[in-house]
Amino acid sequence: MPELNLVQAINQGLQQALEKDPKAMILGEDVGLNGGVFRVTEGLQKQFGKERVVDTPLAELGIVGTSVGLALYGMHPVCEIQFDGFLPSVMDQVICHMGRMRNRTKGRNSLPMVLRAPHGGLIHAPEHHSEAPEAYFTHTTGIKVVIPSTPEDAKGLIIAAINDPDPVVYFEPKRIYRVAKGEVPAKYYETPIGKARLAREGTDVTIIAWGAMVHTCLAAAEKLDADGISAEVLDLRTLSPLDLPAILASVEKTGRALIAHEAPNTGSWAAEISSLIHERAMLKLQAPVQRVGSWDIRQPLFKLERYYIPDADRVVNAAKKVLSF
């Protein structure tokens, strides 16, 4: 199998989806001629033309709103919002319409659309280019939220997202766009939405993570291993709907869990997962579940972002805290 990085894997998934699905189209700022600012859509306008890979005017809310309309008409739009920090302006469409259309119309209309956006920090980017806004989306009913951490899943999840009958928000961990490399099947395939991946087996503590943080946690697991602690790392891949059976199976095995993520803890998706574990597996727990997130402050500019987003040491410390309870 050929080895691809995350950008190449998403690109290949999009390319195969556009080939297979005549209703699929891509729209967003700079996605056509420029191939996207991260080059995720590189070459697609050349192959599929300007009507299917569209450079839109600069209007994020318009990009998502017209995607809703395109999907209502029967198209399968894959729209891109260029940076995570530009997502707040589209929430009007996401919350009030994308997530509700099926239910509001009593099943008459559905929105088979995908909203792609880069996710996360630590690439020395400017302000509003490094954020982890997943909780705003996972809090919203009616939409699914996925985030891969490996090239193989990146390709399979984008294809699954495009084929899904409901709107899917597809986050791309930009820190590992080029450093996450791996073998990717050349064929057209789906990675199932709603299924977590066991990234590392262990027996003493479960570390739950998603996106780039999976790699931080794998590094933390190596450090823990050196101290004789066997950590299991669960890569959620889908944030909503959660793979609760996989979470509970691991936590019931180890009896101890922590959730590591890039967003601030307060009101985070980690808080929801922690709550579910306590509600469903209380008697199997040896210690309260810990959350390792960014601080509850505005994300600083890049000189200090490594102190804001959790590093492997903070994950190690939290694991030791859980184990010494």
Tell me which residues touch other proteins (CB under 8 A): 29-30, 32-35, 37, 55-62, 85-86, 88-89, 124-129, 266, 295-298, 300-305, 307-308, 313-314, 317
- Rank residues 195 and 314 by Cβ distance to other proteins and give the closer one: 314
Nearer Cβ to other proteins (187/303): 303
Complex with other proteins: residue 91 or 248, whichever CB lies closer: 91
Cα distance between residue 35 and residue 163, in whole Å: 23
Torsion 5-7-10-11 (CA) sign: negative
Q: Which is nearer to other proteins, 213 or 242 (CB)?
A: 213
259 three-state secondary structure: strand
d(C-alpha 38, C-alpha 85), whole Å: 15
- Looking at the DSSP bridge assignments, the partners of residue 118 are 172
The set of residues, in sequence order, having a beta carbon less than 8 Å from that of 106 and lying 6+ positions away, is none
Among 76, 129, 215, 261, the active-site one is: 129
Give CA–CA dist 130/87, Å, rounded.
Answer: 12
**Which of 26-54 are b and which e, b meaning 16 or more Cβ less than 10 Å from the residue's Cβ?**
bbbbbbbeebbbbebbbebbeebeeebbb
Could you tell me which of 40, 321, 263, 307 has the C-alpha nearest to residue 155?
Answer: 40
Distance (Å, rounded) from C-alpha 309 to C-alpha 121? 8
Of 50 and 278, which CB lies nearer to other proteins in the complex structure? 50
**Residue 198 beta carbon to other proteins: minimum distance, rounded to whole angstroms:** 29
Please say which residue, 253 or 314, places its beta carbon nearer to other proteins.
314
What gap in Å lies between CA 323 and CA 211, rounded to an integer? 25
Q: State how far the Cα of 172 lies from the Cα of 41, in Å rounded to an integer.
A: 13
Inter-residue contact 78 to 14 (CB < 8 Å): yes
Min separation Cβ 296 and other proteins, Å: 5
Rounded to the nearest whole angstrom, what is the least distance from the CB of residue 159 to other proteins in the complex? 27
Which residue is it, tokens 């659309």? 113
What is the Cα–Cα distance from 198 to 310, expressed in whole angstroms?
Answer: 21
Does 215 participate in catalysis according to the annotation?
no
Q: Which of 318, 323, 130, 133 is nearest to 208 (CA)?
A: 318
Q: Nearest distance from residue 133's CB to other proteins, in Å?
A: 12
Of residues 218 and 309, the one with the C-beta less far from other proteins: 309
Q: State the minimum distance, in angstroms, from the CB of residue 318 to other proteins.
A: 11
- In angstroms, what is the minimal distance from the CB of 315 to other proteins? 12
Residue 137 in tokens: 């989306």
> What minimum distance in Å lies between the beta carbon of 38 and other proteins?
10
Q: Which residues are catalytic?
A: 129
